[in-house]
């Protein structure tokens, strides 16, 4: 895990100042092999032990984190870990670069092992926060609490959805091939 200092950062497309408390976040998305350690009946797709686990509902992601004494990051924690404090659009800066992330522009057509894009790390050293898989966060889309949010885009999405403030709305029990997660503390 990587420790993220508390304090202000610039959030969303408007770069509104938001304050978060100190927290820690996993360096990488949870992998298939890590998920199987907690969920023994989970079947790892052949040769994809180090790829991020996918088709996991919000509830499954939350349960996994709790089993390890962790939790899902909040939207603001996730965004600060991805963005730093300077309001950048992508974890590595303001200009999109397909060599730093697994999005549709990279042409992979599926997930890749976590850490495959070391030059795409965030200012804090957190990996894969743009592309590969959307990541569940502990946040609702509105006061009605119908949809949970995930952040960061996926291999299935383009550069617009890889921006650090991009959100995907899903019903919490949905499982999608383009959504995974990481834990926080």
In terms of phi and psi (left: phi > 0; alpha: psi -120 to 50; beta: otherwise), the region of 169 is beta
Write down the pLDDT at residue 46: 94
Thinking of the domain 2-180, which architecture would CATH place it in?
A: Alpha-Beta Complex (3.90)
DSSP strand pairing (7-11 vs 16-20):
antiparallel
The string of pLDDT tens digits covering residues 96-107 is 999 999 999 999
Number of Cβ atoms within 10 Å of the Cβ of 43: 8
Write down the pLDDT at residue 39: 94
Contact 98, 112 (CB under 8 A): no
The string of pLDDT tens digits covering residues 26-66 is 999 999 999 999 999 999 999 999 999 999 999 999 999 99
Q: Compute the C-alpha angle 99/46/62, nearest 5°.
A: 75
pTM here is 0.94
The string of pLDDT tens digits covering residues 73-118 is 999 999 999 999 889 999 999 999 999 999 999 999 999 999 999 9
The domain spans of the chain are: 2-180
């Amino acid at each position: 895990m990587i420790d993220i200092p508390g304090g202000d950062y610039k959030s969303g497309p408007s770069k509104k100042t938001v304050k978060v408390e100190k927290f820690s976040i996993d360096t990488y998305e949870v992998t298939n092999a890590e998920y199987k350690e907690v969920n023994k009946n989970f079947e790892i797709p052949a040769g994809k032990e180090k790829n991020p686990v996918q088709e996991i509902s919000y509830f499954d992601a939350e349960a996994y984190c709790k089993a390890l004494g962790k939790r899902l990051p909040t939207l603001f924690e996730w965004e600060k870990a991805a963005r730093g404090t300077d309001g950048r659009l992508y974890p590595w800066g303001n200009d999109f670069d397909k060599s730093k992330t697994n999005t549709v522009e990279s042409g992979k057509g599926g997930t890749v092992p976590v850490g495959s894009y070391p030059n795409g790390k965030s200012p804090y050293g957190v990996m894969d926060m743009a592309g590969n898989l959307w990541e569940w966060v502990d946040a609702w889309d509105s006061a009605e609490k119908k949809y949970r949010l995930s952040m960061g885009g996926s291999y299935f999405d383009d550069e617009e959805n890889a921006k650090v403030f991009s959100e995907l709305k899903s019903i919490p029990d949905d499982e999608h091939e383009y959504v995974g997660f990481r834990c926080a503390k």
